[in-house]
Amino acid sequence: SAVISQKPSRDICQRGTSLTIQCQVDSQVTMMFWYRQQPGQSLTLIATANQGSEATYESGFVIDKFPISRPNLTFSTLTVSNMSPEDSSIYLCSVKGQGSNQPQHFGDGTRLSIL
């Protein structure tokens, strides 16, 4: 499966600031997704990153708070804007190849703490 690299792996940020997380894949993939995993919880889909167009957000997530870019088939960024302590979570990138029988694979995530 594809090798997925996320940067940074962890960060501690001040409230009110913004952080951009990068996701790089070693091969072209059809789909890229961003998930949030709050402390001790399961994964929740934030949005689907669409190449060359605006991301598709899930209910409860908005572009102003979580702007996403996907300039090509191997790279995407997620920005967490105007952060508050409630945004302290693990943010995970996943990728999926073409075809209905291609599962999603995940990066190791970015562990974000907001003071």
Partner 1 sequence: GQQLNQSPQSMFIQEGEDVSMNCTSSSIFNTWLWYKQDPGEGPVLLIALYKAGELTSNGRLTAQFGITRKDSFLNISASIPSDVGIYFCAGAITGGGNKLTFGTGTQLKVEL
- Helix H, strand E, coil C: the string for the chain is CCCEEEECCEEEECCCCCEEEEEEECCCCCEEEEEEECCCCCEEEEEEECCCCCCEECCCCCCCCCCEEEEECCEEEEEECCCCHHHCEEEEEEEECCCCCCCEEECCCEEEEEC
Point out which span in 51-59, 63-71, 72-80, 81-89 binds partner 1 (CB under 8 A).
51-59
Among 49, 70, 77, 109, which residue interacts with partner 1 (rule: CB under 8 A)?
109
Give 24 or 48: the residue with its C-beta nearer to partner 1: 48
Determine, following the binding rule CB under 8 A, whether residue 96 of this chain makes contact with partner 1. Answer: yes
Q: Which residues are at the interface with partner 1 (CB under 8 A)?
A: 1, 4, 31, 33, 42-45, 48, 56, 58-59, 92, 94, 96, 100-101, 103-109, 111
